[in-house]
């Protein structure tokens, strides 16, 4: 089962992931136009923007042992990506429930909602 993490709880998830080894990855699987409309940073995580459709051919660029939290607009695409990664042996994957929209509501209201 894929772990669900709200934007509000993401800092604690990232802190736990850091204590287990490598720095976590925040994988934003939205499209480039969406990144331009609204973007976020998470302290303690590297941000990688990789559209959902590009992940299968670029899978080799991702470390299976690195904790990955996946972000999209509302949480649907990120859940699909998280399941895809987990099925391919990624050790620690979480879906950011509610996506960047929930991030704006729960964490940072300056992040535009679209």
As annotated, the active-site residues are 72
SS3 86: helix
The answer to whether the beta carbons of residues 70 and 93 sit under 8 Å apart is yes
Tell me if 51 sits within 8 A of 72, measured CB to CB.
no
3-state SS, residue 10: helix
Tokens representing 52 are 């959902």
């Amino acid at each position: 089962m894929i772990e669900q993490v709200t934007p509000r709880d993401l800092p604690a998830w990232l802190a736990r992931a850091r204590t287990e080894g490598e720095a976590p990855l925040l994988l934003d699987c939205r499209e480039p136009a969406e990144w331009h409309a609204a973007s976020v940073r998470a302290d303690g995580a590297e941000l990688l923007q990789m559209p959902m459709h590009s992940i299968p051919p670029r899978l080799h660029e991702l470390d299976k042992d690195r904790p990955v939290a996946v972000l999209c607009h509302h949480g649907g695409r990120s859940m699909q990506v998280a399941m895809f990664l987990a099925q391919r042996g990624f050790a620690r994957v979480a879906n950011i429930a509610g996506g960047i929209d929930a991030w704006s509501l729960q964490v940072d209201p300056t992040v535009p909602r679209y």
